[in-house]
Amino acid sequence: MLSWAKANYLRRLLGTAIAFSTFGLGGAALGLVFPLLNGVTPTQQRQPLARRTIHAAFIFFLRWMRALGIMEWQVEGIERLGRPGQLVIANHPSLLYVVFIIAHIEQANCVVKGALLRNPFTRGPVRAAGFIANEVSETMLEQGAASLAQGDCLIMFPEGTRTKPEQAIAFHRGAAALALKAARHLTPVIIDVSPTTLTKNEKWYSIPPRKFKMTLRVADDIDLTPYRSKGSAPIAARRLNADLTAFYTRECHRG
């Protein structure tokens, strides 16, 4: 007879397999649907429709994982997200963090890995939503500044890729440079998952010892005036980036 712990593990493993099978099939379906929608949707409506669709799909995925008994979540200060010209930055140790934050901002733009624009299953939705590739820094800065100028809420992960939980936080300077260049608001978001799951190089079936909980906490806006008023743009960006790195190092190890 199976022990309770073994039965619980197998139940969550099955739930995880079902959840990520759903995610893969859903991604493939969206990859087929978006080119068709582009053919029948007026140009000015395509981007808002794409962002709403991705937002709704991610909400469904989170709720599906909760229904399968493999996760829970909690959010604090979510009402402060989604403002025009807002640059939202977040830490990124887990694959699920992108899903989690886009699920909580309906019309968000996002800086994503360039590989998503070349993947046949993700290319259609990513392009339709107007998401920005992080591969060429100057292009990313120009496109990000244009997005913020037109009133988007833009999400960015300054680490650039997933980092291991024990790894020191290291931010690329692009987020700081973009904030100083074009953001009306710079808002840090701290996302935590306990126990950790889907970190870098971790397979989907390496499930945690118990149901995991994701927490999203919106911190106070960072006042950009002191950084903009002193020194050259590169120096100001380095200073802001160092302060952001210190802030996240402190917040991510709090408690």
Confidence of residue 151 (pLDDT cuts 50, 70, 90): very high
Q: Where are the domains of the chain?
A: 4-252
Q: Tens digit of pLDDT for each residue in 56-82?
A: 999 999 999 999 999 999 999 999 999
The answer to whether the beta carbons of residues 218 and 187 sit under 8 Å apart is yes
Distance (Å, rounded) from C-alpha 38 to C-alpha 82? Answer: 25
Q: Average per-residue pLDDT in the chain?
A: 88
Question: What topology is assigned to 4-252 in CATH?
Answer: Glycerol-3-phosphate (1)-acyltransferase (3.40.1130)
> Which pLDDT value is given to residue 123?
82
Confidence of residue 244 (pLDDT cuts 50, 70, 90): very high
> How distant is the alpha carbon of residue 125 from its chain centre?
15
- Which of left, alpha, beta for 96 (phi over 0: left; psi -120 to 50: alpha)? alpha
pTM here? 0.91
Mean pLDDT for 139-163 is 90
> Which pLDDT value is given to residue 38?
67
Mean pLDDT for 143-156 is 97
Residues 6+ apart with CB under 8 A from 52: 106, 107
> Which pLDDT value is given to residue 198?
77
Q: Tens digit of pLDDT for each residue in 20-59?
A: 899 888 888 887 777 777 666 766 788 898 899 999 999 9
